[in-house]
């Protein structure tokens, strides 16, 4: 359901009575997630600001989330699930090492550009000691699977890649992607990321 259909919430007594309680709850949850993503792009994430944007009361917020941080983690998980599925699909369709890197770069950018606010959350490391953000870890896993596939058949430059190079490639992609999403956009970002990964993994 799109933004205009969800925000703000209908007034008291104006809900679609054909919906079940489960369906109404799902709409409320989605409404709060959407409101939070908009609020996050404008300033601090607070219960009051999220509820006001969603057009619901604070009590409705607490029916679904414990805190703004809890909601933020749910936004992050949604991006990560979509990203992981997209990268899996990319790996399934590519055959050569370069095709895999291109497919990964394309899938990575497509998913993160589609929801830039949530993407910035997923691209933020959870702890200062973390080498990669949650999104970066998903990317690293995809690159690792791609390298393993190349090693399995013993062909292509990707088959000789070690984990240090894979970590470096994922970290470099993270940095460029954060700058790309923050603006100004990187020209031909997919090509830039493809060439960056290929250079670091050769």
| Predicted structure pTM score | 0.80
pLDDT tens-digit profile, the chain (202 residues):
444 444 455 555 445 667 687 888 888 898 898 888 888 878 888 999 999 999 989 999 999 999 999 999 998 999 999 999 999 999 998 888 889 999 999 999 999 999 888 898 899 888 778 899 999 999 999 999 998 888 877 766 666 678 899 999 999 999 999 999 988 999 999 999 999 999 998 8
The reported pLDDT for the residue numbered 126 is 80
pLDDT given at position 44: 84
Q: Which tokens sit at 14? A: 């104006």
Q: Taking the domains of the chain in order of start, what are their residue ranges?
A: 3-65, 75-201
Residues near 35 by beta carbon (within 8 Å), at least 6 away in sequence: 7, 50, 51, 53, 54
* DSSP SS3 for 55: coil
Assign 68 to helix, strand or coil.
helix
| Structure confidence at residue 26 (pLDDT) | 86
Fold of 75-201: Tetracycline Repressor; domain 2 (1.10.357)
> CA 156, 158, 161: angle at the middle one, nearest 5?
135
Res 155: pLDDT:
61
Residue 135, pLDDT score: 96
- Class in CATH terms, 3-65: mainly alpha
**What integer pLDDT is reported at residue 49 of this predicted model?**
94
């Amino acid at each position: 359901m799109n933004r205009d259909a969800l925000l703000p919430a209908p007034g008291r007594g104006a809900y679609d009575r054909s919906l079940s309680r489960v369906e109404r709850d799902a709409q409320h949850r989605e409404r709060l997630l959407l409101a939070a993503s908009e609020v996050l792009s404008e300033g601090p994430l607070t219960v009051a600001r999220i509820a006001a944007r969603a057009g619901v009361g604070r009590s409705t917020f607490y029916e679904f989330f414990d805190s703004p941080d809890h909601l933020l983690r749910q936004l992050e998980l949604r991006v990560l699930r979509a990203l992981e599925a997209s990268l899996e699909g990319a790996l399934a369709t590519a055959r050569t090492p370069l095709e895999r890197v291109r497919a990964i770069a394309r899938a990575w950018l497509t998913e993160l550009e589609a929801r830039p606010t949530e993407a910035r959350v997923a691209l933020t490391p959870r702890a200062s000691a973390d080498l990669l953000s949650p999104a970066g870890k998903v990317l690293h896993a995809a690159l690792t699977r791609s390298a393993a596939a190349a090693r399995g058949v013993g062909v292509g430059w990707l088959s000789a890649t070690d984990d240090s190079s894979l970590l470096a490639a994922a970290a470099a992609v993270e940095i460029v992607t954060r700058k790309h999403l923050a603006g100004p956009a990187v020209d031909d970002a997919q090509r830039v990321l493809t060439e960056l990964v290929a250079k670091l993994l050769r």
